[in-house]
Structure 1
Amino acid sequence: MVLGFSFETLVSVPWGFLLRSLLCIAFLRQVGKTLDQVWWRPRRLERELRAQGLRGTSYRFVIGDLKEYGRLSKEAWSKPLPLGCHDIAHHVAPFLHNTVREHGKKACFSWFGPVPKVTLSDPELAKDVMSNKFGHFEKTKFPALSKLLAEGLASIEGEKWAKHRRILNPAFQLEKVKRMLPAFSASCQDLVSKWMESLGSDGSCELDVWPELQTLTGDVISRTAFSSSYLEGRKIFQLQAEQAERLMTNITKILIPGYLCLPTENNRRMRQITKEIESILHSLVGKRIQAMKDGESTKDDLLGLLLESNIRHVDENGQAKLGMSIEDVVEECKLFYFAGMETTSVLLTWTMILLSMHPEWQDRAREEIMDLFGKNKPEYEGLSRLKTVTMILYEVLRLYPPAITFNRKTYKEMEIGGITYPAGVMVELPVMFIHHDPDIWGGDVHEFNPKRFVDGVSKASPNNPGAFLPFGWGPRICIGQNFALLEAKMAMCMIIQHFEFVLAPSYTHAPHTVITLHPMHGAQIILRAI
């Protein structure tokens, strides 16, 4: 007898009944786990947050605030802003704007599906979170989404992140980036030549510079990362652009647990895109590794520097497991492509738009550029002496940051600003709202005023030094910021050397987010040769 059952009784029970019972138990356990995830736990967390005086939206079953987020965004984006209006936060992120206004600027919460999302608009708290002052914070990540776009340095955690950062750091040191200036210059010259050929008989033409500048930065990242031309990398850029669009268009569905496993047309296409990108990059990386094994000299591009650093890292530690796998290298290459093209093209596009709106600053930039270079190609020594152009780029990054928020997640109970947050809470750091806060930047916060950066970044925000956060902060600050700024300076110098530009009548001022901050209807500019 065992627990009241004899062996004879046990073997006499039909196996079908036992199987059905086990499946029923497993199903009930899964139902209980799911209910805890989408109802009991969110309700418990909401009570805990409100008990500490934190205000926020009420939890809605499964979807949280995603439906309201989508509704408000659709409503705001249906109407453009007035030309010259830089008060864009309420238009770009209307749900976040309403939540902060209604529930508190310093800290409030909303719901990203069943996950509570705490928004911290205090720049000191934001920097403390990014610098891990309160303890280790994880990057907010959704594995399925990361895999569909890029699982590189931006999304990994812990020792793996530290290892990747050590391996990648040498490739992004300023001395290495300076060697890439000829590639920057060559790509910019191709763009200038193309625009010159587009000029009409009156020496002018109208262009949507948004896709043109994406082509430029795509060409730059292809040359500097893989020593190839834009034509060879175009397929990856096209696929990643489509992937980003599909992710953002379907974000409210994708975040429903298990949705990506459904055999929908959109899901099948996103998986196909991922396979195509990875196939191209596996081939590219494999060829480079084989060339290195065959004794060919390492190319002085980002992939070559990454692989060289990876091999050296392994040799110095004596353990192969400490280096990156081929899959890791491919994911970092996906991130090279996406981040290298996307963020800099966003910065250049908004810079051209704002200089078109504010021609006096375009004239000041041109005067500085011509004094330093004339019509000659810019070189590093002169680029490092640019003051007006640097101030302009910083002011564009303040008003139109490519990433409007950064997100982290608590991995254990943590106290931030006097509030105790349990594990698993998203912490949203709204860079755009910090950059547009009049209490930090003064009454002219929504004006395009590059002079605020005349004494550098630290003195630009008089009421809160260090509130300028376009590249993040702390140990996870953007590894490619030197690369992006040097590329942007080179591009703007060569464009301003050859053209003056104004907004075309067809331009509509409608910034919105597709991963980063895009001009919804393009950036139509009239160029005139000088």
Structure 2
Amino acid sequence: MYIIGFVALGLIAIAIYFFIIRPLTPLLLLKLKLGDKAILMFNPINGFIGLLMNSIKKNHDAMETIYAALRRNPNAKVILSNLIYKPCIILTGSEYIRDSFQEHHNFEKMNPFQIKSYMQKGLVFSEGERWKRQRNLLGSAFTFDKLKSRIPMMNQVVEDIALKDSKENLNEFISRMTGEIVIKSFFGELAQGFKLEGKDAQIALIELTGSMSQIQFENPFVFIKSLIFKERMWDIFPSQKEKDIVRRVDNVKMKVKEMILKRIEQLRQNPIQDKDKMVFLDLYVTEYLSQQSQQKEQLIDIEEIIHQFTTLFFVGTDTTATAIGTCLYYLAQYPEIQSEILEEVQEVIGQNEIKEEHLNKLVKINALIQEVLRLKNPSYSTIFRIVKNDTQLQEIKLKKGWALIQMQNASHKQEKYFDKATEFNYKRWLNKQKQVKNDNGYIYIPFGAGPRNCIGQHMAMMESKIIIALLVRKYKIILNPEVQQQIRFGIKFLYILEPDNCLLFEKRI
């Protein structure tokens, strides 16, 4: 009995050291050094994720605890917390965020899915020369001039899905639109009838990405595995749910590979000469075939093209859909704003299809989107980072292995940067005067900044304007009275409106 007791005490002592003393000690030393520039928000074991979960329960808003702390201490530049056993430095000061963006090579992105061979070779997670090559290849395709050819397709997707969808699940409803737009932009005509496991491809992929992220937020054991074992986590005592996720990922890769190989043969026989007519897959396949024919070093392989598709689907579907859903929520919450938006749509577009020349005239919709991105940007931070090697950031000595979070929304609710910062007021963006006070260029950066800013921001804004305009014209959007008291902003990897049935769509006469 004594031996068992000593062993138990020893294990408890090890756990206390590993999960509390080890991460907390450097955070306390930093707090002493930084004074009121730092806010200590240590949370044993649960860490930063625990802060978000507790804030949801207390405030119905995952970010409010952090925002409130920053309002109480406007001098704060960093929040000191933890990710399980790792010290976690949350950057909130714009100058700290600026320096970390500019020195991005010092930090390694944490793959939120930790699935082998899923997105690692895509644009988001690539580094060095691979990232530069991919950015150059795709960059020209994401300009407004190249994207405008997709406007008719976007109109048709919105009209078709709005007609067929039950609209009972807000996130699924909007994600069906953004997902189909991404799939058609990547695969073109090949996307016709694209299904996965008997479902429309965009629905199957949305469900899969949701399952991969949600299992880590809801299951502490899985989250700890992801931090310790990274991509090997799915092989360590996997549950049936984890096995099913891996099976679904393998199935996606197999189906996408079949489509890519089919397109390679098509373009090998009949190359496209006009780059303006190429979908994203065509850009990749054309470069792939060029490297083969010229016997160049084969920099692009099939695996990379698969990863690029899953990357573009992930970043182009959920984030845009979540932002649009939040815009619709504010229109339901403020019917007078919805009336103003509807009036603009009727004046600019009437009952016609949206065309290129209409987009810049939708100034109120643009202002609505900007205000939502200020207050409720789905990407409340960039993807979490790990410090590669000891490095200096302003006066902070970051140690190898520490977690780093760039909270790019942190300044948005502070009075020193925005008048009446906590209030929703889309009209602030209609004022031609500068809206951001004390701006150093890194206060309001909804699509990131620096060399690794969001490559798809023009496409996201284009989609958002078209979807919001067409839905407001077709439906009166109202809050669901059955769940109105339950509405909150939670975390499912993104900062997202919940529950999914919080809005009703009443067809306009």
**TM-score (normalised: structure 1):** 0.79
3-state SS in 2 of match to 1:439 = coil
Does the 8 Å CA contact 1:108/1:118 hold for their aligned counterparts? yes
Query: Match for 2:105 among 118, 126, 136?
Result: 136
The answer to whether the 8 Å contact 1:171/1:302 transfers is yes
How much has 1:80 moved relative to structure 2?
Answer: 6.9
Conserved? CA contact 2:71–2:414, under 8 Å: no
Distance across 2 between alignment mates of 1:487 and 1:236: 19
Change in 2 beyond 3 A, CA 1:108/1:70: closer
| Structure 2 residue 163 is the aligned partner of structure 1 residue 193 | yes
Structure 2 segments unaligned to the other structure (5+ residues): 1-15, 196-200
Larger Rg: 1
Match of 1:150 among 113, 119, 126: 119
Amino acid in structure 2 at the alignment position of 1:155: F
| Residues 413, 423 of structure 1: 8 Å contact kept | yes
Please say which of residues 149-158 and 67-76 is displaced more in the overlay: 67-76
Return the offset for 1:333: 0.6
Partner of 1:159: 129
Q: In 2 relative to 1, CA 378–465 (structure 1 residues): closer, same or farther, beyond 3 Å?
A: farther
Q: 1:66–1:214: structure 2 CA closer, same or farther, 3 Å change rule?
A: farther
**Inter-CA distance 428–126: structure 2 relative to 1 (3 Å threshold):** same
Query: Residue 511 of structure 1 corresponds to which residue in structure 2?
Result: 489
How far did 1:419 drift?
2.4
SS of residue paired to 1:399 = helix
Query: Residue in 1 aligned with 2:425?
Result: 449
Deviates more, 1:92-101 or 1:498-507: 92-101
Give the one of 209, 216, 219 matched to 1:247.
216
User: Which moved further from structure 2: 114-123 or 340-349?
Assistant: 114-123
The change in CA–CA distance for 1:58 and 1:478 in structure 2 (over 3 A counts) is closer
CA contact (8 A) 1:57 1:99 kept: no
Partner Cα distance (2:468, 2:311) in 1:
24
Partner of 1:124: 95
Distance in 2 separating the partners of 1:414 and 1:279: 41
**Following the alignment from structure 1 to structure 2, what is the Cα–Cα distance between the partners of residues 96 and 80?**
11
Q: Secondary structure at the match of 1:445?
A: coil
The alpha-carbon deviation at position 488 of structure 1 amounts to 0.7
* 2:78 paired residue among 96, 104, 107: 107
For 1:387 and 1:510, how far apart are their aligned partners in 2?
Answer: 28
Contact residue 410 and residue 426 of structure 1 kept, 8 A: yes
Superposition pairs of residues 3-402 of structure 1, within 5 angstroms: 42=23, 45-46=26-27, 49=30, 52-53=33-34, 57=40, 65-69=44-48, 71-78=50-57, 81=60, 88=61, 91-92=62-63, 94=65, 105-132=76-103, 136-142=105-111, 145=114, 147=116, 150-151=119-120, 152-194=122-164, 207-227=168-188, 228-229=191-192, 232=195, 233=201, 234-250=203-219, 252-258=223-229, 259-265=233-239, 266-295=241-270, 297=272, 300-311=278-289, 319-321=296-298, 323-402=299-378
Q: What is the deviation of 1:187?
A: 0.4
How big is each residue's C-alpha offset from its partner over 1:124-166, in whole Å with a ceiling of 9 and x where there is no partner? 321232133xx73324324871547632211222222112211
Amino acid at match of 1:165: R
Tell me how far apart the structure 1 counterparts of residues 113 and 171 of structure 2 sit (CA, whole Å).
Answer: 29
**Quick one: structure 1 residues 230 and 429, their matched pair in 2 at CA, closer, same or farther if it must change by over 3 Å?**
farther
**CA separation of 1:207 and 1:270: change in aligned 2, threshold 3 A:** closer
2:504 is aligned with 1:525: yes
What is the RMSD computed on CA atoms of the aligned residues? 3.4
User: C-alpha offsets along residues 170-196 of structure 1, whole Å, 9 cap, x if unaligned?
Assistant: 22122221111121111011134337x
Deviation per CA, 1:256-305, whole angstroms, max 9, x where unpaired?
Answer: 42344313214323322321221122112121112222225486322223
Residues of 1 paired with 2:271 and 2:293: CA distance?
19
Provide the identity percentage. Answer: 20
Q: Secondary structure at the match of 1:385?
A: coil
Measured in 1, the distance between the counterparts of 2:218 and 2:402 equals: 25
Cα distance in 2 between the residues matched to 1:47 and 1:78:
27
Is the partner of 1:116 in helix, strand or coil? strand
Q: CA offset at residue 438 of structure 1?
A: 2.4
Return closer, same or farther for 1:256/1:424 CA change in 2, 3 Å cut-off. Answer: closer
Instruction: Assess if the C-alpha contact under 8 Å between 2:155 and 2:353 holds in 1.
Output: yes
Number of residue-to-residue matches in the alignment: 470
Aligned partners of 1:395 and 1:58: how far apart in 2? 28
Pair 1:125–1:315, CA change in 2 (3 A): farther
Could you tell me whether the CA contact under 8 Å between 2:331 and 2:337 is conserved in 1?
yes
Letter in 2 for 1:527: E
| Structure 1 stretches lacking a partner, 5+ long | 1-34, 82-87, 199-205
Give the superposition deviation at 1:410. 3.5
Structure 2: how far apart are the matches of 1:425 and 1:170?
36
How far 1:315 moved relative to its partner? Answer: 7.6
Shift of 1:385: 2.4
Q: Which residue of 2 aligns with 1:20?
A: none
Q: Offset of 1:376 from its aligned partner?
A: 0.3
Moved more, 292-301 or 268-277: 292-301
**Residues 310, 173 of structure 1: alpha-carbon distance in 2 compared, 3 angstrom cutoff:** farther
Match for 1:426 among 400, 403, 412? 403
Structure-1 residue corresponding to 2:8: none
98 and 65 in structure 1: CA distance in 2 versus 1, 3 angstrom threshold: farther
Provide TM-score, normalisation by structure 2.
0.82
Amino acid at match of 1:505: P
Q: Deviations over 1:59-79 (max 9, x none)?
A: 8xxxx7442555554444346
Deviates more, 1:112-121 or 1:71-80: 71-80
Q: 1:528 to 1:150 in 2, by over 3 A?
A: same
- In 2, the alpha carbon distance for the partners of 1:175 and 1:307 equals 22
Deviation at 1:489, TM superposition (A): 0.7
Inter-CA distance 76–428: structure 2 relative to 1 (3 Å threshold): closer
Task: Report SS of the residue matched to 1:500.
Answer: strand
1:137 and 1:408 in contact (8 A); partners too: no
